[in-house]
């Protein structure tokens, strides 16, 4: 999308097409189902006094027809995009409502839709989650069932104690026959067709986690917090990038029978000393469309690190101005730039779209074409005082989805001279901070993108999106 010389703000380039509305608002209960609408009576929205569910993440399905979301009440929801989303005759914004929900027993660190998901074929509408003290579970997104049970399970257990390990990250790449899960000091490759079986392959990220030196400086130690599969090359070869909360990253080749480790390096110095954007553990890893560049976004950071994997461990640059100042995960998305064959080539680089802690969506263009700091090209406000946790670009390039939601703590907002706030603070001083939290605005929104070369091609014309 060529917007060279564009002003900092969107100025009419984005238009709100559809929204759930604020799902934490009192008046929105009857018109917009919350993610926990079909949840049992023990959902968080009913256990906590005055607190509501909020969206934690969102992602497009492989065919671009449905948005999968996860909420703070451990509910997975599916939102089918309206067929008249881009019709000029409808009144906007359209109302989004969940067509299917799945209540999980425990929080899940991962949510992955099947890479072969097709709305017209119910058997393909699968997703993977991993709740605590449970095996990795496969569900069908079935609108006819309110209380679903997993269709398949894939146990990931400790070798000696046989206790379940919770997957802290998961990637389910094309063609969808296998997926890779990450846990503490471990990567595991599963065959989707072998339900109930242990992993086909276990790859330890350090030689031994029982020795006092925890690997003796070899490999990377810690919970694997992010996984990303490299776009396959002409030989269908693809590396898997694994990153940890301890600020390490490794590249693994699961095409080989051993899942060989290609490289590992620490990003602590690059994030703290070179880019000076801070960071406290990798929350997301993402590949460029061309597969040459690796993006690493950390929690408590003010930027995204960009590495050229052809030079192991060397920082190419960083995306400045991406505020992810808390512990909440903020996921970005990538999209090919114009020129260079339209696949993120060297001439135009590629685009990165990301939300922020303060409710803004930022867009960086030409990523990969320069070194050092890379400022946002433009952006717009997608939420009011709430974290935009996910920004998902549709494969057609004409629409983008965002989801927002977070907690706020009154102690952080109270002024020293506010007597009323001061009295409330004294009366609640015996309460833990988390007990005084309250909701910020939370919504799922779909925006149109105009004034770009994709304007003439609607999602429906790609054969994989809303019509």
Residue 236 has a pLDDT of 67
Residue-wise pLDDT tens digits, 365-412: 999 999 999 999 999 999 988 999 999 999 999 999 999 998 777 665
What is the b/e burial string over 9-39, where b = at least 16 CB atoms within 10 angstroms of the residue's CB? ebeebbeebbbbbbbbeeebeeebbbbbbbb
Write phi, then psi, for 393 (nearest 5 degrees).
Answer: -85, 130
Beta pairing class for 260-266 and 248-253:
antiparallel
Q: Classify residue 69 by burial, with Cβ atoms within 10 Å: 0-12, 13-18, 19+.
A: buried
∠ CA(203), CA(209), CA(211), 5° rounding?
A: 140
C-alpha–C-alpha distance, residues 393 and 336, integer Å:
11
Cβ atoms < 10 Å from Cβ of 459: 23
- Residue 85 falls in which region: left (phi positive, over 0), alpha (psi -120 to 50) or beta: alpha
Residue-wise pLDDT tens digits, 36-84: 444 433 344 444 446 788 999 999 999 999 999 999 999 999 999 999 9
Half-sphere exposure of 434 (CA within 13 A, CB side): 1
Residue 332 has a pLDDT of 97
Residue 404 has a pLDDT of 95
CA dihedral 227, 359, 33, 284 (to 10 degrees): 0
Rounded to two decimals, what is the model's pTM?
Answer: 0.85
pLDDT above 80 (res 435): no
Q: From residue 356, how far is each of 12, 367, 388, 435, 455 by CA, in Å? A: 20, 18, 6, 25, 26
pLDDT above 80 (res 424): no
């Amino acid at each position: 999308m060529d917007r060279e010389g564009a002003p900092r703000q969107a100025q009419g380039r984005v238009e709100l097409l559809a929204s759930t509305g604020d799902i934490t608002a009192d008046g929105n209960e009857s018109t917009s189902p919350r993610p926990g609408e079909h949840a049992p009576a023990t959902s968080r929205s009913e256990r906590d006094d005055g607190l509501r569910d909020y969206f934690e993440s969102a992602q497009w399905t492989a065919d671009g027809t449905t948005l999968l979301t996860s909420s703070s009440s451990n509910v997975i929801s599916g939102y089918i995009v309206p067929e008249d989303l881009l019709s000029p005759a409808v009144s906007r914004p359209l109302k989004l409502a969940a067509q299917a929900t799945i209540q999980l027993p425990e929080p899940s660190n991962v949510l992955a839709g099947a890479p072969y998901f097709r709305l017209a074929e119910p058997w393909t509408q699968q997703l993977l989650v991993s709740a605590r003290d449970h095996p990795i579970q496969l569900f069908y997104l079935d609108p006819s069932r309110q209380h679903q049970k997993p269709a398949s399970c894939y146990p990931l257990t400790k070798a000696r104690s046989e206790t379940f390990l919770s997957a802290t990250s998961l990637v389910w790449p094309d063609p969808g026959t296998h997926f890779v899960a990450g846990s503490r000091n471990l990567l595991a490759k599963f065959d989707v067709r072998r339900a109930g079986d242990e992993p086909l392959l276990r790859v330890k990220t350090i030689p031994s986690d029982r020795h006092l030196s925890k690997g003796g400086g070899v490999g990377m130690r810690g919970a694997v917090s992010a996984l990303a599969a490299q776009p396959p090359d002409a030989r269908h070869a693809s590396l898997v990038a694994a990153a940890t909360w301890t600020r390490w990253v490794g590249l693994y080749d699961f095409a080989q029978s051993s899942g060989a480790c290609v490289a590992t390096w620490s990003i602590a110095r690059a994030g703290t000393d070179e880019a000076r954007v801070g960071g406290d553990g990798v929350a997301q890893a993402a590949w460029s469309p061309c597969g040459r560049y690796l993006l690493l976004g950390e929690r408590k950071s003010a930027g995204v690190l960009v590495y050229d994997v052809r030079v192991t461990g060397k920082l190419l640059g960083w995306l400045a101005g991406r505020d992810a100042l808390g512990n909440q995960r903020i996921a970005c998305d990538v999209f090919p730039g114009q020129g260079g064959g339209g696949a993120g080539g060297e001439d135009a680089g590629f685009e990165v779209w990301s939300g922020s802690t303060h409710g803004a969506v930022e867009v960086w263009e030409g990523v990969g074409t320069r070194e050092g700091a890379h400022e946002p090209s433009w952006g717009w406000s997608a939420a009011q005082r709430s974290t935009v946790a996910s920004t998902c670009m549709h494969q057609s390039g004409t629409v983008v989805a965002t989801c927002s939601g977070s907690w706020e703590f009154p102690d952080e907002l109270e002024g020293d001279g506010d007597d009323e706030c001061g009295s409330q603070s004294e009366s609640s001083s015996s309460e833990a901070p988390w007990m005084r939290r309250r909701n910020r605005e939370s919504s799922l929104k779909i925006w149109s993108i105009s004034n770009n070369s994709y304007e003439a091609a609607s999602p429906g014309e790609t054969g994989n999106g809303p019509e």
